[in-house]
Structure 1
Amino acid sequence: MKLATLKDGTRDGRLIVVKRDNSAYALATNVALTLQAALDDWDTKEPLLRALAAQLEAGAVQSRPLDQTALHAPLPRAYEWIDGSAYINHVMLVRKARNAEPPATLKTDPLVYQGGSGDFLAPTADIPLADEAWGLDFESEVCVILGDTPQGTKAADAGKHVKLLMLANDVSLRNLIPDELAKGFGFFQSKPATAFSPFAVTPDEVGPAWREGRIHLRLRSVLNGVQVGDTDAGPEMHFSFFELIQHLCKTRGYTAGTILGSGTVSNVDRARGISCLAEQRMIETIEEGKPKTPFMKPGDTIDIEMMGEDGQSVFGRISQKVVKPS
């Protein structure tokens, strides 16, 4: 089942169900006005939404053509946005880029940060950049949306709390990160608004590609019309989403509508390309002594997408352009 949020002039939009081929949608507001409302009562609302999705596929309910530019992020705002860094190759490369040692617990204790969640970017929204010196970078990621998840949840039980899957562009301002982290208090200004894919899907939508808390599909990143990444999101995700959830829940629980990101998808095999510019710049430094790839500037574009085994775009496409703020 594919869900999305249609822009309607309000903060939270209207919930819709989307056909598997992404061609059309049906309003779901008779079940739940918003995606958050559905998540708040998921056990009751999910079967009703699935029934509506089946009707949509069968042509048994009124539908309308889908324009992905008319969509918000699935959750235009969320109670929490928590991002991990589960791909060790990415951690190693970006730490080298800022001359920082990886933590001693790199392989045993997940890295996470809590980002701003009050105003996400729509999947086709422009990325505002006030100063090119800040070093704007895209970060292509996979995410899950949680239902109510209690404190003490273990990895073995975490799967039942994962309600939906989606993609993210976790925008970063690389040149602001070192000074912020040097304060010992985490990211803030260096992490502006995040964008999410047009569709959030139930795990069964990707079939056997969803297993052991990982999405075993390739994530494409296209920069200025050129594919720069075709990374495999599954095998090298060192900490699964289930393990990340166990880590998060050590000291507190989380409410329905919490979003958890994987961190930048990254593969050791350089033929798979990149999911962020920081990795490309570090590879250039290793091989050539200094980086030559610039960070993003106004006019640049980034597209992020994941195809299923059937060749269909699972989550729709994040398609953004960098602009100067008006």
Structure 2
Amino acid sequence: MKLASYKSGRDGQLMIVDRGLQRCCPAGDLAPTMQTALDDWSNIAPRLQERYEHLCEGTLDASSAFEPGKCAAPLPRSYHWADGSAYVTHVELVRKARGADMPTSFWEDPLVYMGASDAFIGPEDPVTAESEDWGIDFEGEVVVVTDDVAAGTTADEAAKHIKLLGIVNDVSLRNLIPGELAKQFGFYQSKPWTAFAPVFVTPDELGTAWDGARLHLPLRATLNGELIGAPNAGQDMTFDFPTLIAHCAKSRSLISGTVIGSGTVSNVGSKDGSCCLAEVRCLETLRDGKPSTPFMSFGDRIHIEMLDGEGASVFGAIDQQIRPFERSTV
């Protein structure tokens, strides 16, 4: 099943989207919003699934062309957004480029931070910043969405709580990060709103690419028409999603609609390229002594997408332009 949210108010209008991302139909009579569906998933999901099957079969009258430009994030705001750094070789590379050793504990205990979830943005909404000097970077990631997860849930138990998957551009303002981390209190200003691809999908839609813990498909990142990388999201993922969920639920329960990110997808040696410019720059630093690739500039366009084995888009595309923001109340 594939689900989206058309822009409407703060929480969107829940839509069911067909497998090929061509047609859609409203689901408001079953659940007005994605969060409503997640709050009663065991009862609502089968009814959404039935309508999805009719939509895919072409036997549903009330359908229309799917328009990604109308999409908010599938879950326009969430009670909880926890982002990991599951590809530890990426962390190792970044630290190596700045001459820092990596504690051995990083291979055994996941890095996770809580991000801003009061508003996620849609696949074609612009990335905005006040200044190019902030070091605007994209980060291609895979995310999972859970139902209620009890505190103390183990990794073995956690897999059953994964209800939906998606991909995101977890934007980073790289030049603001060092100052924040120097305070030893984590990210805030350096992590603006996160953008989501148009649809979330249920695990069964992914076939053998989803093994219950990792998604084994390449995540393609293209900047201004140039492919930056297409690393496989299932490869070199040190901490799988059940492990990340268990880590987050160690000391408290997770509420339905919790979104947990993988961190920047990265493969050892980056032979398939990178899903962020920071990694490109680190590789350049190790090779040449300094980076040569700039961070993004106003007017740049970043495109992030995951294709299945047949070349079809799984989640739809994130396609965003970088723009200066205008001051407003929202």
Aligned to 2:15: 16
Aligned to 1:60: 59
What does residue range 16-35 of structure 1 map to in structure 2 within 5 Å?
Answer: 16-35=15-34
Secondary structure of 1:244's counterpart equals helix
CA displacement, residues 68-124 of structure 1 (integer Å, 9 cap, x when unaligned): 000000011000110000001211122234444323301100000000000111111
Aligned to 1:37: 36
What does residue range 108-147 of structure 1 map to in structure 2 within 5 Å?
Answer: 108-147=108-147
Aligned to 2:153: 153
In the TM superposition, structure 1's runs of 4+ consecutive aligned residues that sit over 4 Å from their partners are none
CA distance in 1, matches of 2:105, 2:228: 30
Distance 1:115 1:99, change over 3 A: farther
Secondary structure of 1:232's counterpart equals coil
1:175 alignment partner AA: N
CA contact (8 A) 1:212 1:240 kept: no
TM-score, length of structure 1 as denominator length: 0.98
CA distance in 1, matches of 2:98, 2:23: 46
CA distance in 1, matches of 2:119, 2:7: 14
CA distance in 2, matches of 1:229, 1:282: 14
Aligned to 1:323: 323
CA distance in 2, matches of 1:190, 1:130: 12
CA contact (8 A) 1:82 1:261 kept: yes
CA displacement, residues 174-209 of structure 1 (integer Å, 9 cap, x when unaligned): 111111111110111111111111000000111111
Aligned to 1:314: 314
TM-score, length of structure 2 as denominator length: 0.97
CA distance in 2, matches of 1:129, 1:46: 38
1:63 alignment partner AA: S
CA contact (8 A) 2:97 2:286 kept: no
2:298 alignment partner AA: P
Number of residues of Structure 1 aligned to a counterpart in Structure 2: 325
What does residue range 277-316 of structure 1 map to in structure 2 within 5 Å?
Answer: 277-316=277-316
Note if 1:246 corresponds to 2:241: no
Deviates more, 1:268-277 or 1:98-107: 98-107
Residue ranges of structure 1 left out of the alignment (5+ in a row): none
| Percent identical residues | 51
Residue ranges of structure 2 left out of the alignment (5+ in a row): none
CA contact (8 A) 1:98 1:178 kept: no
CA contact (8 A) 2:97 2:283 kept: no
CA displacement, residues 196-245 of structure 1 (integer Å, 9 cap, x when unaligned): 11000000111111114100001000011111111100021110001111
CA distance in 2, matches of 1:23, 1:191: 33
CA distance in 1, matches of 2:144, 2:181: 26
CA distance in 1, matches of 2:276, 2:10: 30
CA displacement, residues 266-315 of structure 1 (integer Å, 9 cap, x when unaligned): 01133200100000101001100100100011011110000112321000
